[in-house]
A = this chain, B = another copy of it.
Amino acid sequence: MFSKACQYAIRATLFIAQRSLEGERVRLKTIAKAIDSPEAFTAKILQQLARNKIIHSIKGPSGGFEIADHDLDTIRLIKIVEAMDGDQVFDGCGLGLKQCNAAKPCPVHNKFKIIREELKNMLVTTNIRELATDLSVGSTVLRM
């Protein structure tokens, strides 16, 4: 469904969010260990998230990554997915047909449409605070 980079990005964002709720800033190494991802690759992903204003990065000793409290409410899952994978997940034809649209639908157009719309809706309505809070309450882990 999503690229590996996108999956790491969501896991990393949730972990940072959870720590940000507690007022803590986290370093790359900590994040990579926590979400069980390759450290160097994760660094690239965090850069991309920072460029897209999804997380905030601080250089230097005692630096790291954090998410401002008010961003926890405004940042939705879709923002992460779009930053990493673009929008071809929910837009575009399920069969890869460029000319497929409501006026000239491919045979599975309408069947896919419903699912894509639900997926998009879910991503648009889910914010980071909600997920991070769930994460803190439950015993769930972001590792593999």
Contact = CB atoms under 8 A, between A and B. Distances in A.
A59 interface: no
A141 B1 CA distance: 26
Interface residues of A, number: 42
User: Per DSSP, are chain A's interface residues mostly helix, strand or loop, or mixed?
Assistant: loop
Chain multiplicity (copies)? 2
Contacts of A68: none
Interface in A79-127: 89, 94-100, 104-108, 111-112, 114-116, 118-119, 122, 126
A112 B144 CA distance: 17
A4 B111 contact: no
A122 B112 CA distance: 8
Given A1-B89, A118-B114, A7 B96 contact: yes
Given A107-B14, A135-B107, A97 B4 contact: no
A111 B97 contact: no
Interface string A51-94: 00000000000000000000000000100000000000100001
